[in-house]
Structure 1
Amino acid sequence: MPFDYGIEKLEPAFDDRPVPYIAYGGHFPELTSNQLTQTFGAERAFIISGKTLSENTPALKRLEKVIGDTATKLVGTHIGIAPHTPWDQVIEITNEIRMAFTEGGEQISDKDVIITLGGGSPTDGAKVVAWALSNPSVTKPEDLEPYFSGSEGHDASKLPDPIVRVISIPTTLSGGEYQSIAGVTRPPPSDQKCLFKPPTRNPSVVILDPELTTTTPAKYWLSTGVRAIDHCVETLCSLQSNIKGDEAAERGLRQLVSALLRTKGDSQDLDARFESQMGVIQAMHAVGSGVPLGGSHAIGHQLGPLGVGHGETSCIMLPAVCKWNASKKANVERQAICRDVLIQSQEVRGLIEKSGKSVDDTDLGDILDLVIRALGMPRTLKEVGVGRDKLDALAKNTLTDPWSPTNPEPITTKEQVLEILEMVVE
């Protein structure tokens, strides 16, 4: 898909959901200022920016400068939120933004906007922060306890919806900016990743600028792209799939695999980067169709807090989970559909030929392994520093994840998780 910086566009990301809109066709500072002034009529803005992006590139300074030239007052910037969105940091940022928005006795209103600049952690954090800002009782880490999905007596509906809007400027492909659900990680020794499900209001607008993403280290860009592939594969391979989800997942797979391999070959290919960003929308469209995900996501959610990158969890777990499901004959027909989509790609056929295998002798797990290796991403737990001493706790935490029982072969015991993990230990 050719990318043109000369034509700015604002359009819905999805045809069946009111948010988010996507804005593209311009550079991210100007696109953001246009949203603040023209779409939201924003009076105040607060930025949550990734640490590496802020320190190693001029992106944050460019954004701050352009906002400074608008009628919107920039009331603060928070630099840095750790990977996997730590629980305590969410509260810290909530209190920081609440103070900035209410300085001088003013009230938080729908003219206040949070802008996220960076990867999945700032985005996930902002979604929970925006919800917490509407709930004055949430000021300490323990105040979040009743409100994550699966907590005892969980009923988030009793608290007000978010007032503040969120604009996300993603620099990775994890896709969290296209849904209100957010993952927040408990502090050690638990290290459990919990899902929060705020009402569907934020993020309200997603800014797409492929040139900005050239500042993203390749391992984050490509690995989070595999995360988006994971969304497509686990949706398409689900035994609870539907036509809408299947169609979106197939479109996403076609876009993502080709575009990521092209980006690996040429990191400055803006067309391929934009194609990847659009592929993420299809992946999240598939997820948003209501199809439950499976074991790769379940294990990946709990693997992340052990220091593994969000996208790297999919690089390691997705082929293994597919292989494991196939060994149980859990979703053979669904995997065949997914495989057929992938082998239509000339790039994928080239990888199979290069491996010395034939197309007929290559299953879905094999193909995913070849693609991930071609992208130069890790394929074992050893490569990301997770040893056998972590497996028991990892398996136990995986059983708390909502996607474990919805795997095509339901994952209900620690032994099943350990069986899968043994496939990727080293």
Structure 2
Amino acid sequence: MTTPETSSVAAGICRHTLLERVVHGQPFDKAVVEEMHVCNAQRVLVIAAPQARGSVALQTLSAALGQRYVGEFCEALPHVPVRCIRQGALLARELNVDHLVALGGGSVIDAAKAIALLLHKSVDADAAMLLEPQDLSQVDSSDPDQEAADWLRITVVPQTLSAAEFTWFAGVSDPDTRVKNIVAHAAMAPRTVILDPVLTMDVPLPIFLASGVKAMDHAIERLVALRSHPVSDATSLHALQMLAWALPAVHRRPGDLEARVQCQLASWLSITGGNAGVKTGASHALGHTLGIHAGVAHGLTSCVLLPSVLRWNVTVNQRQQRRVIAALDGPGEDLGSWVERFVATLGLPARLRELNVPEVDLPSIAQKSMHDPGMRNSPRPVQSAGDALEMLRMAW
């Protein structure tokens, strides 16, 4: 038997988060109520986006929670402005909540995690502390220490494929400077994730599909890393193959719930490579920066940036990119072109100009992106903002 070709493996630790359960195959409201019984939650605050206010999903959730439901915070805005975190934390303290339920996409989920973090730090403190750079390499997701018992538990009911529900970190932004910062703590990780494909029907189809491309970005950037891990390779590759089938199926048949749940499970797999220490790179770093700078959803940032980032890196990770193409049955095609063509089949934008990003803004985006941790993980080292600008111009 031949040994499979793999990337070199660095010494490290494969971590696990505080996640206890991933529930799927039953209606979300029933699963939420069962979870509240398990953890004996009595005062539940629901975190959601403004558009969720008055929705059937939110009404169903509040009715199911009954007397446990003490309120809702429907101010979780895109890219998680720091002011909404303080507002949410103040409300949680005022209502004396003992559990957070996040219903929505990645920004909603990140908001719930950041609210829990600010409550732990002290809501009376300046919320701007969440914008202070943090050395994420010092955050050990496997060692939440005794403080974890004092944190608000979080249950997440995701409606997109961001996979934020499976991580112990969150992006928080400063709308004035249009800069995003990543905050992290082991105890921020949600304890339960409830996957119900019916809820994803509430999300506009292009946004849902684009969030799936973001999940593909999680998988691909780890698969083409110079130093990988067999756990990351296995989960990332399977996630990518699942999404390559399921996203077009949803595009063709938006009501196909089986395809949607396959997307949800693939999203879960797509993020697990991070637990093995394999990092994402420039596509994520540029995407974080572009998202807040230009008000672009993160799924769409992956649609327009990933192909160019792959082409920029191919001189140093061609072998890894070829392995991915082979697994996707795309021989004779470079990986950047495959992703570009795949995005087009979903009817999603492929260039920055299609997102109305002014070319004149590219140098500023490039400069800001150098502060994102992902830039340090690029297979081809990003030496300066000029390198980042080169990738952005390729994508424009």
Specify if TM > 0.5: yes
In structure 1, C-alpha distance between the alignment counterparts of 2:227 and 2:32, rounded to whole Å: 38
**Residue 116 (structure 1) aligned to one of 102, 121, 126:** 102
1:3 counterpart residue number: none
1:10 counterpart residue number: none
- Confirm or deny: 8 A CA contact 2:130 2:172 kept in the other structure: no
In structure 1, C-alpha distance between the alignment counterparts of 2:34 and 2:145, rounded to whole Å: 35
The one-letter code matched in structure 1 to 2:238 is R
1:248 aligns to 2:235 (yes or no): yes
- Confirm or deny: 8 A CA contact 1:48 1:115 kept in the other structure: yes
Give unpaired runs (5+ residues) of structure 1. Answer: 1-13, 102-107, 344-348, 350-358
In structure 1, C-alpha distance between the alignment counterparts of 2:371 and 2:61, rounded to whole Å: 40
Residues 344-395 of structure 1 show CA distances to partners (whole Å, capped at 9, x for unaligned) of xxxxx6xxxxxxxxx42x1111111111110111111111121012111101
SS of residue matched to 2:201 = helix
- Confirm or deny: 8 A CA contact 2:131 2:172 kept in the other structure: no
1:167 counterpart residue number: 155
Q: How many correspondences in the alignment? A: 378
- Confirm or deny: 8 A CA contact 1:88 1:187 kept in the other structure: no
**CA 1:137–1:218: 2 relative to 1, 3 Å:** closer
- Confirm or deny: 8 A CA contact 1:20 1:202 kept in the other structure: no
1:414 counterpart residue number: 385
The structural deviation recorded for 1:136 is 2.2
- Confirm or deny: 8 A CA contact 1:249 1:286 kept in the other structure: yes
**Residue 318 (structure 1) aligned to one of 306, 326, 343:** 306
2:60 counterpart residue number: 62
Residues 252-284 of structure 1 show CA distances to partners (whole Å, capped at 9, x for unaligned) of 011111000100000000110000001011101
Cα RMSD after superposing both structures: 2.3
- Confirm or deny: 8 A CA contact 1:19 1:201 kept in the other structure: no
**CA 1:140–1:61: 2 relative to 1, 3 Å:** same
SS of residue matched to 2:357 = coil
Percent of aligned positions with the same letter in both sequences? 30
1:382 counterpart residue number: 353
The structural deviation recorded for 1:150 is 4.5
**Higher relative contact order (CA closer than 8 Å, sequence separation 6+):** 2
1:194 aligns to 2:192 (yes or no): no
Residues 79-122 of structure 1 show CA distances to partners (whole Å, capped at 9, x for unaligned) of 13211111111111111111111xxxxxx6xxx11001111111
SS of residue matched to 1:196 = strand
Aligned residue runs from structure 1 range 115-154, under 5 A:
115-136=101-122, 138-146=124-132, 148-150=133-135
In structure 1, C-alpha distance between the alignment counterparts of 2:342 and 2:56, rounded to whole Å: 33
The structural deviation recorded for 1:287 is 2.4
1:285 counterpart residue number: 272
1:43 aligns to 2:42 (yes or no): yes
Aligned residue runs from structure 1 range 387-402, under 5 A:
387-402=358-373
In structure 2, C-alpha distance between the alignment counterparts of 1:390 and 1:127, rounded to whole Å: 31
- Confirm or deny: 8 A CA contact 2:197 2:260 kept in the other structure: yes
Give unpaired runs (5+ residues) of structure 2. Answer: 1-13
- Confirm or deny: 8 A CA contact 2:151 2:187 kept in the other structure: no
- Confirm or deny: 8 A CA contact 1:51 1:80 kept in the other structure: yes
Q: Normalization by structure 2: what TM-score? A: 0.90
SS of residue matched to 1:84 = coil
Greater helix content:
2
